[in-house]
Amino acid sequence: MSHFFTAAVLTATVAAGVQLATPFLLAALGETVGQRSGVVNLGVDGIMLLGAFGAYYVAAKTGSLVMAAAVGLGIGLVMGLVTAFVSVTLKAEQGISGIGVFLFGLGLTDVLLLKLFPSPVTIPALPAVRIPLLYRIPGLGKMFFTQNWLVYLAFLLVPVVTFVLNRTTYGMKIRAVGENPAAADTVGVSVARIRYSAVIFGSAMAGLAGATLLLLIGIFQEDLTNSEGFIAVALVYFGAWRPLGVMAGSLLYGLVAAVVVTWKTLGIIPTSASDLASMAPAVLTVLVLLSVARRYRQPAALGRPYQRGG
């Protein structure tokens, strides 16, 4: 323990935790918007995998990390269109179709990895951008203000999404179709159009989250996400469908992951128990779901396709 509680190790662990929280945050913020409109997208994990692979391919071929992130986002957009078509237009059972998207992403990225990358390529890390003045703050500067631009983007999205959801007409429409689509329809809001846009935004964020994860790890491997996309969906419940709550949950997960890694490295967790320690995020998720399930009310129309006159 003694090695853990030193300023350098603690600072590095928190900084790593903030980084690890970023993919969760992006994916969960997107899912929050989608769910507020009444659509559950359980394909997040598959979309993250596809976005991550797209980013990997582009980064390996062009060397441009910005382009890689953009491609991840773009793949997310396309998958969002498909997801919205299946969930909104075809009114499919969202829980199951999402699992289909997950399997599709999992299988396809494996195939592509084997076909396109006979030997692994490592992607350089995104450079850290120091926020002027703030980065000089002892401790905090290293933890929060010496990160890459994707981290800043994700955390900036928290107030933006909050504002859009709560203070704009568009946000009000999203909430309306998520709570009472029939009423929204009556006053002339296009339920389908609002849900399409919300789902596509959410999916694009999932694609970007995948790209972010890839740039964080630096290499694509089979099942890169290891169910992080599903945890991101759980974080929406944890955050009670509010961006700030989702951010708190993401930070918690990022920190737990970072602490587990640090403790393994320092030998605080013995090798024999390393598998058991890796259970932490999943066990935490179940406990979190258990504790929040009864406390918060979800959007009333969540998971229910809207049928006029139905």
Partner 1 sequence: MRRLRSVRIPQGLGLASRRDLLLSWFALPAAAILSVLLGTVLMLAFGANPVTGYHALLTGAFAGTYALTSTAVKAVPLLLVGAGICIAFRANMLNIGGEGQIAMGGLAATATALAVPGLPTAVLLPMVLLAGAIGGGIWGAIPGAFKAYFNVNEILSTIMLNLVAVQFMNYLLSGPMVARSGYAVGGLIPQTQLLSGHSWLPILIAGTQLHLGVLIAVLLAVAVYVLLWHTSLGFRIRAVGLSREASRYAGMPVRSTMTLAMTLAGALSGIAGAMLVMGSISHRMVTDGTLTGFTGNAGYNGIVVALFAGLNPLWTILTSFLFAGLLVGGTSMQVVTGVPSDLVTAFNGLVVVLVVSVEYLRRRSRARARAAGTPGPDAHGVTESAGEGVPA
Backbone phi, psi, residue 19, to 5°:
-65, -45
User: Among residues 81, 153, 217, 227, which is the contact residue for partner 1, using CB under 8 A?
Assistant: 227
Convert residues 264-293 into a mask of x (bound to partner 1 by CB under 8 A) and - (unbound): --------xx-xx-xx-xxx-xx--xx--x
User: Among residues 226, 256, 264, 268, which is the contact residue for partner 1, using CB under 8 A?
Assistant: 226
Asked if residue 219 binds partner 1 (CB under 8 A), the reply is: no
DSSP 270-305: -GGGHHHHTTHHHHHHHHHHHHHTTTSPPPTTTT--
Q: Compute the distance between CA of residue 200 and CA of residue 30 in angstroms, rounded to an integer.
A: 9
Q: Compute the distance between CA of residue 213 and CA of residue 211 in angstroms, rounded to an integer.
A: 5
Beta carbons within 10 angstroms of residue 95's beta carbon:
10
DSSP conformational letter for 151: H
Residue 145 CB, shortest distance to partner 1, in Å, is 33
**Nearer CB in complex with partner 1: 109/146:** 109
Q: Compute the distance between CA of residue 145 and CA of residue 303 in angstroms, rounded to an integer.
A: 38
Asked if residue 99 binds partner 1 (CB under 8 A), the reply is: yes
Q: Which residue has the tokens 């996309």?
A: 229
User: Among residues 24, 230, 253, 306, which is the contact residue for partner 1, using CB under 8 A?
Assistant: 230
Applying CB under 8 A, the site for partner 1 has a residue count of 54
Residue 215 CB, shortest distance to partner 1, in Å, is 23
**Nearer CB in complex with partner 1: 46/171:** 46
Using DSSP's 3-state secondary structure scheme, residue 146 falls into strand
Positions touching partner 1 (CB under 8 A) are 40, 42, 46, 86, 90-97, 99-108, 110-111, 114-115, 223, 226-227, 230-231, 233-234, 237, 272-273, 275-276, 278-279, 281-283, 285-286, 289-290, 293-294, 296, 298, 302-304
